[in-house]
């Protein structure tokens, strides 16, 4: 186990082995769900047209989405064979229920039949015939819903093999007469098989049994299914009629469709009392347990075209080994006496008693040769197609390919090999097989062995400079997983682009390794600090800070000298490393010289001072009789800011 099909479906365990395929429980690693994978036996894939038919049929069946039909998800090819991926039904088949609990109550059997008819109606409405309805192909989901499996599979194999060998595939206990005599089928053939299944659910046994498949097939063609009321005396006539309409030998006498059968059943059910519905057939004490004679799927050789088998013509006398209704049934039985009147001429009617020995000899020889032929055919079938043709697959895991080839040949099996990587099996050794060890394989079909190539090593691709999305895509294409993804600022790499990887490009790693990515967040923003009101000496202009400062001076009547008046951009603005911040430093107020006004008249001096921006204060000596400026305080040339007061001393 552990084989991965198509790089997607991991085989986990064996579920079942049937007449046409082996079924495995698997896990769909892409959609993360459990599925069932049915792998066909390679000897069935024996025609160039098979895969085309198989793919076409699988596509048709995949469109059947219905609660009473097992959904087909996918199909594909393996070396020498093909497979189908289906919905996994975690429940028993009707075969298991029959083996455990048959006969069923009338209600249980009819309810199951109703659900199967609903599924058949959905399939038939799309032109899809099953051709192999049987208890093994009816699966019950965990909530008890019956679901039909293997739609189209029997038809594909029959059509393909029939094109080359004129063989017919079907489960003989449930096969419709027209499939045997003509190799033809339609939806009424499915109804016949369902009728046989209903008979088995109600009685615990199929209506026809025999020593081999040919005997049973002959019975389907030569005998009518006995009325169930002959076996179950309390069975209502309406159920007899319903079953007869399903299992009539002539398809024209059956229900014309699943829809018609379903409608008839739904009319029938309300007519049955509750007590009657909950009754079940009690097998006579003479038989400890009803014999479960459900013959396996087998091939019946029939002529090509529409010709009937010579020994299956209804007009021919019955074989002395022809199957009959089960021995434990109280109903009528077919004669098995080889000397019965039905098999030999009546001497009394001929009037020539002395000729009886001569008449007996041809018949005796006929039966001897017929029995010998049937025995030979049975032996051939057993050794070539039956259980004798299947050999157990030996344990090969850990062997070299040469050792595996030799061991398979010793066990009568051939081999086909493919290589694959393995984390646990050394290179050159067998990883696993399909079928797995212990399963039986048809002798003409090769056993698939997977040979280890060792641990798969992959090369880390170049990702630096790629966007995050492109890098993740390249990693996936290189079949690596993304490890830790971190982000950091970069002055050189745009946001969203890979800065670095760990390990680096061209490093060789195991296939399941991960690669860490470092992604750029772009340039790091910094908030501009508030500088207004600070002295120039208090501003950090070292290399540790991100900005470049440019300074200018400006007079200010309000801001002391050496203190920042303003900045651009404003405090709190986000800028990047290396961006410029302009700072204006105060030079204090602007100063002007006191003009020379000595000897000037008071009026003229006052005007000159005011025009220079100063305020004027008059101080008179001797009442300023002459009106002439004697001096100024402060004196001429003194630097004062505008608005300062200059005192004129006037005499």
**Confidence category of residue 352, pLDDT binned at 50, 70, 90:** very low
Report the alpha-carbon distance of residue 424 to residue 116 in Å, rounded. Answer: 46
Report the alpha-carbon distance of residue 152 to residue 137 in Å, rounded. Answer: 12
Q: Using CB atoms within 10 A of its CB, is residue 110 exposed (0-12), middle (13-18) or buried (19+)? A: buried
Catalytic one of 132, 190, 432, 445 = 132
The helix (run of H) or strand (run of E) holding residue 650 is strand 645-650
C-alpha of 204 from chain center = 38
Q: Are 80 and 45 in contact (CB under 8 A)?
A: yes
Provide the pLDDT for residue 1.
63
pLDDT at 296 over 80: no
Report the alpha-carbon distance of residue 447 to residue 79 in Å, rounded. Answer: 10
- List, for residues 605-614, the tens digit of each pLDDT value: 999 999 999 9
Domains parsed from the chain with CATH numbers = 4-87 (3.30.200.20), 94-337+359-363 (1.10.510.10), 388-452 (3.30.10.20), 457-520 (3.30.10.20), 525-588 (3.30.10.20), 591-650 (3.30.10.20)
Residues 482-496 as b/e (b if ≥16 CB within 10 A, e otherwise) read eeeeeeeebeebeeb
Residue with the larger pLDDT of the pair 461 and 444:
461
Report the alpha-carbon distance of residue 528 to residue 572 in Å, rounded. Answer: 5
Residue with the larger pLDDT of the pair 285 and 90:
90
User: Closest Cα to residue 130, out of 140, 144, 116?
Assistant: 116
Annotated catalytic, 101?
Answer: no
Please state the three-class secondary structure of 36-95 as a single string: EEEEECHHHCCCCCHHHHHHHHHHHHHCCCCCCECCEEEEEEECCEEEEEEECCCCCEHH
- List, for residues 42-56, the tens digit of each pLDDT value: 777 655 566 677 777
Radius of gyration of the chain (CA): 50
Residue with the larger pLDDT of the pair 163 and 78:
78
Mean pLDDT of 386-404: 82
pLDDT cut 70: percent of the chain above it: 79
CA distances from 625 to 233, 622, 639 (A): 161, 6, 30
H helices within 88-186, ranges in order? Answer: 94-101, 106-124, 153-165, 177-181
What is the separation, in whole angstroms, between the first and last Cα of the chain?
126
Residues 431-465 as b/e (b if ≥16 CB within 10 A, e otherwise) read bbbbbbeeeebbbebbbbbbbbeeeeebebbebee
Tokens encoding 618: 């008059």
Residues 623-642 as b/e (b if ≥16 CB within 10 A, e otherwise) read ebeeebbeebeeeeeeebee
Mean pLDDT of 390-407: 90
CA angle 9, 15, 17 (to 5 degrees): 110
User: Closest Cα to residue 152, out of 82, 253, 243, 48?
Assistant: 82
Provide the pLDDT for residue 315.
31
Q: Are strands 72-78 and 81-87 parallel, antiparallel or unpaired?
A: antiparallel
pLDDT at 187 over 70: yes
pLDDT at 97 over 70: yes
Provide the pLDDT for residue 624.
78
Provide the pLDDT for residue 32.
92
**Confidence category of residue 250, pLDDT binned at 50, 70, 90:** very high
CA distances from 262 to 135, 175, 197, 572 (A): 19, 21, 16, 81
Report the alpha-carbon distance of residue 85 to residue 28 in Å, rounded. Answer: 9
Provide the pLDDT for residue 240.
94
CA distances from 507 to 423, 469, 514 (A): 19, 21, 12
Q: Are 43 and 29 in contact (CB under 8 A)?
A: no
pLDDT at 343 over 50: no
pLDDT at 289 over 60: no
Report the alpha-carbon distance of residue 178 to residue 199 in Å, rounded. Answer: 19
Residue with the larger pLDDT of the pair 58 and 339:
58
C-alpha of 593 from chain center = 96
**Confidence category of residue 400, pLDDT binned at 50, 70, 90:** very high
pLDDT at 449 over 80: yes
H helices within 223-355, ranges in order? Answer: 237-247, 258-268, 274-277, 347-350
Mean pLDDT of 387-415: 85
Tokens encoding 288: 């400890």
- How much is the mean pLDDT over the chain? 82
Beta-bridge partners for 171: 297
Report the alpha-carbon distance of residue 44 to residue 160 in Å, rounded. Answer: 9
Mean pLDDT of 178-206: 94
Please state the pTM of the whole predicted model. 0.50
- List, for residues 519-567, the tens digit of each pLDDT value: 999 999 999 999 999 999 999 989 889 999 999 999 998 999 999 999 9
Would you call 350 helix, strand, or coil by DSSP?
Answer: helix
**Confidence category of residue 79, pLDDT binned at 50, 70, 90:** confident
- Measured over all CA atoms, what is the biggest interatomic distance in the chain, rounded to whole angstroms? 197
- Which one-letter DSSP state was computed for residue 284? P
Cis peptide bond prior to 628, omega within 30° of 0: no
pLDDT at 107 over 70: yes
Mean pLDDT of 74-103: 92
User: Closest Cα to residue 228, out of 334, 106, 97?
Assistant: 106
């Amino acid at each position: 186990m552990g084989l991965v099909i198509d790089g997607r479906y991991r085989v986990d365990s064996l579920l079942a082995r049937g007449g046409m395929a082996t079924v495995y429980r698997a896990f769909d690693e892409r959609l993360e769900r459990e599925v069932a994978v049915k792998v066909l036996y390679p000897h069935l894939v024996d025609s160039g047209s098979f895969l085309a038919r198989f793919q076409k049929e699988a596509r048709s069946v995949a469109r059947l989405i219905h609660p009473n039909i097992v959904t087909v998800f996918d199909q594909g090819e393996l070396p020498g064979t093909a497979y189908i991926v289906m919905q996994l039904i975690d429940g028993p088949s009707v075969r298991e229920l029959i083996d455990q609990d048959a006969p069923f109550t009338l209600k249980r059997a009819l309810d199951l039949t109703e659900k199967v008819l609903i599924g058949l109606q959905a399939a038939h409405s799309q032109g899809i015939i099953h051709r192999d309805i049987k208890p093994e192909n009816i699966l019950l989901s965990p909530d008890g819903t019956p679901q039909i499996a293997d739609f189209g599979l029997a038809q594909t194999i029959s059509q393909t093999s029939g094109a080359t060998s004129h063989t017919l595939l079907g489960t003989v206990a449930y096969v419709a007469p027209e499939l045997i005599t003509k190799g033809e089928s339609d939806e009424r053939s499915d109804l016949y098989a369902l009728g046989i299944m209903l008979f088995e659910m109600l009685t615990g046994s199929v209506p026809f049994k025999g020593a081999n498949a040919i005997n049973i097939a002959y019975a389907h063609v030569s005998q009518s299914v006995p009325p169930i009321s002959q076996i179950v005396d309390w069975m209502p006539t309406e159920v007899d009629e319903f079953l007869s309409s399903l299992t009539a030998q002539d398809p024209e006498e059956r229900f014309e469709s699943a829809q018609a059968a379903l409608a008839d059943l739904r009319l029938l059910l309300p007519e049955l009392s509750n007590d009657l519905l909950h009754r079940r057939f009690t097998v006579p004490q003479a038989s400890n347990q009803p014999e479960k004679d459900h013959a396996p799927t087998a091939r019946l050789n029939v002529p090509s075209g529409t010709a009937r088998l010579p020994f299956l013509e209804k007009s021919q006398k019955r074989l002395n080994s022809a199957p009959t209704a089960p021995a434990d049934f109280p109903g009528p039985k077919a004669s098995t006496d080889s000397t019965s009147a039905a098999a030999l001429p009546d001497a009394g009617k001929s009037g020539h008693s002395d000729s009886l020995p001569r008449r007996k000899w041809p018949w005796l020889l006929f039966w001897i040769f017929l029995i010998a032929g049937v025995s030979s055919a049975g032996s051939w079938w057993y050794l070539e197609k039956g259980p004798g043709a299947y050999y157990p697959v030996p344990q090969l895991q850990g062997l070299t390919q040469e050792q595996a080839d030799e061991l398979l040949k010793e066990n009568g099996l051939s081999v086909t090999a493919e290589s694959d990587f393995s984390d646990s099996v050394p290179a050159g050794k067998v990883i696993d097989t399909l079928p797995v060890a212990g399963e039986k394989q048809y002798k003409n079909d090769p056993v698939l062995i997977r040979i280890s190539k060792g641990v798969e090593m992959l090369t880390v691709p170049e990702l630096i400079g790629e966007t995050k999305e492109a890098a993740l895509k390249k990693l996936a294409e290189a079949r690596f997983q993304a490890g830790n993804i971190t982000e950091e600022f970069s002055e050189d790499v745009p946001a969203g682009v890979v800065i670095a990887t760990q390990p680096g490009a061209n490093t060789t790693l195991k296939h399941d390794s991960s690669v860490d990515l470092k992604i750029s967040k772009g340039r790091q923003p910094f908030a501009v600090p508030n500088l207004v009101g600070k002295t120039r000496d208090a501003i950090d202009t070292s290399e540790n800070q991100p900005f470049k400062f440019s300074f200018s001076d400006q007079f200010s009547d309000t801001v002391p000298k050496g203190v920042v008046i303003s900045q651009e951009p404003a405090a709190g603005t986000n800028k990047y490393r290396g961006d410029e911040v302009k700072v204006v430093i105060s030079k204090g107020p602007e100063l002007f010289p006191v003009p020379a006004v000595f000897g000037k008249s008071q009026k003229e001096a006052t005007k000159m001072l005011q025009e220079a921006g100063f305020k004027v204060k008059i101080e008179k000596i001797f009442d300023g009789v002459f009106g002439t400026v004697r001096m100024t305080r402060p004196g001429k040339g003194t630097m004062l800011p505008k608005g300062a007061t200059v005192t004129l001393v006037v005499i």
